[in-house]
Amino acid sequence: MEKLTIHILLVEDSASDAYLLHRIFLHAHQEQWEMLHVERLSEAIEASRDSTSTLDNSQIVSRSQRRFDLVLLDLSLPDSIGLDTLKEFQAAVPDIPVVVLTGLDDEDLALQALAEGAQDYLVKDQITIQRLVRAIRYAIERSEILNQVRESEERTRQALAKEQELNELKSNFVAMVSHEFRTPMTTIRTAVEILEYNNDKLTNDRRTKYFDRVQNAINQMLHLLDEILFLSKTEVTKLEYNPTLLNLENFCNELIDILQLNAGSQHSIVFTFQGESTQAQMDEDLLNCILTNLISNAIKYSPQNHTIWFDLICKDRLATFQVRDQGMGIPLKDQTRLFQTFYRASNVGVIQGTGLGLTIVKKCVELHGGHIQLESEPNVGTTVTVTLPLQ
Ligand code: ATP
Ligand code: MG
């Protein structure tokens, strides 16, 4: 069986002690060793950090990600003395197991080091091959187990946070549904009552107005139901991503025709296209959902007679969709939370909405492996940019 190489960092300022350990390692044939020797604590920290510097602080570093499997640490070094040496090293490099090297008269210090988290200690004058190999093996194994426990704790913590988030979502959902459905229901009930009891007295114009109100309220509820259904698909089952070959320019032109028809003459949508290729591999329904939501927002949150700009640029294997308006904009404090379910900016006033559109957009963008960016200034306007890979 192939032997696994064990990488050791020896931190020892005494040349003779270091030489002794080298000799012992040379004779320890059960394992394969590789050792780096440094004399100062600062050098030890720097050498250990090299391999893990790209990792996030919260990540648990596995053995394969570390440069060293173990550190043999003398506590008396030129730049640090005693227990502080261990504390400082562990604070800087928390994931590497440490075996402390002490002198004969330092038994107390060794015990304190164990209490501080060292895996073991070796008394320099008493080191034998067997003791050294055993201490190193046990230390590595113990630290692996500790890492696994930490990883499992981290997973449990994440699962709990997810559950908490879901609970929050549920209570938000109940509050929102009772509010968002109650308003159109009340509108319908009032309109129907007026139509039922005052039908003879109503002019044709008034009658049409009440029927329109009923229609609007029903549409509002249907829209809400569609959004909720869509979101539950992304949460409960997996939302399907079915890319097909699309001519993006034609796709956008057709979409704009429909949206312009809905917007009527109160807003004009100006579409421009730049780029070499218009062919893309994307999911038609999801793309439709992204662009419809963004353009509908631009219309909804802009005063009448304002233009909405919609630009498509296909370049460097990316499609960039940009929707720009000169509407009410979004206060800075709200901007980071707009992609959360049900979140609406503080300046929406009486403009209706459920705060689900952008959450849905973000999910659709992620399914395409793209990203979304929003820039906005109150009373100046909003620009949303979605970048998706063409293939
Ligand atoms: P719906 O779920 O019906 O789309 P909504 O429009 O309120 O409701 P989102 O589309 O998710 O929800 O948008 C979230 C919030 O972001 C909006 O409530 C609004 O405050 C703000 N917002 C989004 N787009 C714009 C825009 N173009 N201009 C100004 N505010 C915007
Ligand atoms: Mg919206």
Q: Look at residue 51 in the predicted model and tell me its pLDDT.
A: 53
C-alpha 357 – ligand 1 centre gap (Å) = 7
11 and 73 Cβ atoms separated by less than 8 Å: yes
Query: What mean pLDDT comes out for the span 118-138?
Result: 88
Q: Look at residue 59 in the predicted model and tell me its pLDDT.
A: 46
Please identify, among 235, 262, 288, the residue that sits at the C-terminal boundary of a domain: 235
**354 within ligand 1 shell (Cβ under 6 A):** yes
Name the percent of the chain lying above pLDDT 70. Answer: 94
**353 within ligand 1 shell (Cβ under 6 A):** yes
- Tokens at residue 123, please? 């008394």
> Strand, coil or helix: what is 11?
strand
pLDDT in tens, 31-67: 788 889 999 999 999 998 865 444 444 444 555 556 8
Highest mean pLDDT pick, 143-147, 170-174, 276-280, 327-331: 327-331
Q: Look at residue 62 in the predicted model and tell me its pLDDT.
A: 52
Residue 378: pLDDT band (50, 70, 90) is very high
Q: Look at residue 191 in the predicted model and tell me its pLDDT.
A: 94
Query: What mean pLDDT comes out for the span 310-322?
Result: 95
Q: Look at residue 372 in the predicted model and tell me its pLDDT.
A: 97
Q: Which residue has the higher pLDDT, 351 or 234?
A: 351
Q: Look at residue 58 in the predicted model and tell me its pLDDT.
A: 43
Q: Which residue has the higher pLDDT, 199 or 313?
A: 313
CATH of residue 186: 1.10.287.130
CATH of residue 346: 3.30.565.10
**Does residue 270 share a domain with residue 350?**
yes
Q: Which residue has the higher pLDDT, 60 or 181?
A: 181
**Does residue 280 share a domain with residue 222?**
no
Residue 107: pLDDT band (50, 70, 90) is confident
Domain span including residue 363: 244-389
Q: Look at residue 3 in the predicted model and tell me its pLDDT.
A: 59
**Does residue 255 share a domain with residue 306?**
yes
CATH of residue 117: 3.40.50.2300
Please indicate, yes or no, if residue 139 is contained in any of the structural domains. Answer: no
**Does residue 184 share a domain with residue 53?**
no
Instruction: Please give the radius of gyration of the chain, using alpha carbons only, rounded to the nearest integer.
Output: 33
Alpha carbon of 102 to those of 97, 112, 199: distances in Å? 16, 12, 99
**324 within ligand 1 shell (Cβ under 6 A):** no
Query: What mean pLDDT comes out for the span 374-378?
Result: 97
**Does residue 175 share a domain with residue 114?**
no
Indicate the average pLDDT of the chain. 88
Residue 187: pLDDT band (50, 70, 90) is very high
**Domains in the chain, number:** 3
Residue 108 has pLDDT above 90, yes or no: no
**297 within ligand 1 shell (Cβ under 6 A):** yes
Q: 């320890």: which residue's tokens?
A: 28
Name the percent of the chain lying above pLDDT 90. Answer: 57
Q: Look at residue 127 in the predicted model and tell me its pLDDT.
A: 86
**382 within ligand 1 shell (Cβ under 6 A):** yes
Q: Look at residue 352 in the predicted model and tell me its pLDDT.
A: 84
Residue 314 has pLDDT above 80, yes or no: yes
Least confidently predicted of 48-57, 235-244, 369-378: 48-57
Nearest CA to ligand 1 atom 29: 329
C-alpha 372 – ligand 1 centre gap (Å) = 14
Which residue among 227, 337, 344, 350 has the greatest number of ligand 1 atoms within 8 angstroms of its CB, and so is best to mutate? 344
**348 within ligand 1 shell (Cβ under 6 A):** yes
C-alpha 356 – ligand 2 centre gap (Å) = 7
Highest mean pLDDT pick, 126-130, 224-228, 253-257: 253-257
295 and 324 Cβ atoms separated by less than 8 Å: no
Helical axes 129-197 vs 15-27, angle rounded to 10° = 90
93 and 49 Cβ atoms separated by less than 8 Å: yes
Residue 151 has pLDDT above 60, yes or no: yes
Phi then psi dihedrals of residue 339, to 5 deg:
-90, 5
**Does residue 291 share a domain with residue 383?**
yes
**Does residue 27 share a domain with residue 123?**
yes
For residues 178 and 170, what is the distance between their CA atoms, to the nearest angstrom? 12
Which residue among 223, 297, 323, 376 has the greatest number of ligand 1 atoms within 8 angstroms of its CB, and so is best to mutate? 297
Nearest CA to ligand 1 atom 17: 344
Buried b (16+ CB within 10 A) or exposed e, 168-202: eeeeeeeebeeebeeebeebbeebeebbeeeeeee
Least confidently predicted of 125-139, 251-265, 279-293: 125-139
Residue 124: pLDDT band (50, 70, 90) is confident
Query: What mean pLDDT comes out for the span 270-288?
Result: 93
**Does residue 96 share a domain with residue 118?**
yes
**Does residue 203 share a domain with residue 306?**
no
Please indicate, yes or no, if residue 150 is contained in any of the structural domains. Answer: no
Q: Look at residue 4 in the predicted model and tell me its pLDDT.
A: 73
Q: Look at residue 347 in the predicted model and tell me its pLDDT.
A: 96
